[in-house]
Amino acid sequence: MGSVSVVGTWRLVSSEGRSSAGDVSRQYGDAPVGFLIYGADGYMSATIMRPGRPHFSSGDRLRGTPDELRLASEGFLAYCGTYEIDEPRGIIVHHVTAADFPNIVGTDLIRRFTLENGTLALETQPVVRAGKTWVSRIVWAPAGPVGAPRQTSHAGASHESR
């Protein structure tokens, strides 16, 4: 896996997409929630969620309305599998074994990465969505021990998360 270490649990700081037309999207909101876990054994797991997604009126995950199902899906991303680091190229490859979006199962997701000031930034390869080409930048910070106060940075402001 190389000499660069990303091993550990990372919490989501920000997620932003930019289109080739100059559009900016925060599909998971201004304060997304998520974790990225890289194990020393080569396994990984990623979860990103938009907070405040509406509850299903039925309370049954199998009986959501079409709108409830759409909003739940649009505001959530999860996948897991194995990973490898190509340090000279600055790339992490996620080999997807299971995912909420079936089309990525069995694929390799290539992410450019940088480690700066204690954060891990991942940048996706260009992908076409809704007729536009998008690149997303996802920034992660070390999760730290459970129950410990965390510092979160959004748009340059720092505050303790709740």
Instruction: Count CA atoms closer than 13 A to 89's CA, side-chain side.
Output: 10
**CA 36, CA 8: separation in Å to the nearest integer?**
8
pLDDT at 108: 98
Confidence of residue 3 (pLDDT cuts 50, 70, 90): low
Q: What is the pLDDT of residues 98-134, one digit of tens each?
A: 999 999 999 999 999 999 899 999 999 999 988 899 9
Model confidence, pTM: 0.85
Closest CA to 42 of 3, 82, 8: 82
Q: What is the pLDDT of residues 34-91, one digit of tens each?
A: 999 999 999 999 999 999 999 999 999 999 999 999 999 999 999 999 999 999 999 9
Residue ranges of domains in the chain, CATH in brackets: 8-160 (2.40.128.280)
Work out whether strand 33-38 and strand 8-19 pair parallel, antiparallel, or are unpaired: antiparallel
Closest CA to 77 of 105, 110, 99: 99
Confidence of residue 139 (pLDDT cuts 50, 70, 90): very high
